[in-house]
Amino acid sequence: MDKTKTTRNTAAKTAVLEILTQSKIALSHTEIQKQTNDLCDRVTIYRILDRLVNDDIIHKIVNLDGTVKYAKCHHHAQRVHIHNHAHFSCEKCLEITCLENVKPSYIIPHNYKVNEINFTLSGLCPNCLNSNN
């Protein structure tokens, strides 16, 4: 029943994953594309990102302003990529970072079944907070 379709390692996929692994911040599709130097088509990057998300290797973040970014967590206490943490969106430099230690607590609403949570904080990141200009 569980027809697990195998995923293949291609040059493009390796490049995209490497870019995300090196980055300290979450990247958008366009930002990733720029870093690949036209190694592959725009559509291919969309499909690679979809695959990586499906395989739980990276995760997708939708920001307050609607921009979509992708990130690979840097902590790896577990062998799987867990992303039930908060994200921080800087209003000034627009960078999005995983706050891998910040996990919100809340009272589960009655009659609702919660499968997934998304918690995004926005404001000023440490960089922009120090250089106040």
Partner DNA sequence: ACTTTAATGCAACATTGTTGCAAGTTAAAT
Partner DNA sequence: ATTTAACTTGCAACAATGTTGCATTAAAGT
DSSP state for residue 88 in the 8-state scheme: E
Q: How far is the CB of 60 from DNA (least distance, A)?
A: 9
The minimum distance between CB 69 and Zn ion, in angstroms, equals 14
48 binds DNA (CB under 7 A): yes
Indicate the DSSP class of residue 109: P
Residue in the block written with tokens 């195998």? 6
If the CB atoms of residues 21 and 30 are measured against DNA, the closer one turns out to be 30
Please state the φ and ψ torsions of residue 46, each to the nearest 5 degrees. -55, -45
DSSP-based three-state secondary structure for 98: strand
**Pattern 51-80, Mn ion, x by CB under 5 A:** --------------------x---------
Q: What is the separation of C-alpha 110 from the centre of its chain, rounded to a whole number of angstroms?
A: 30
Contact residues: DNA, CB under 7 A: 5-13, 28-30, 39-44, 46-48, 50-51, 66-68
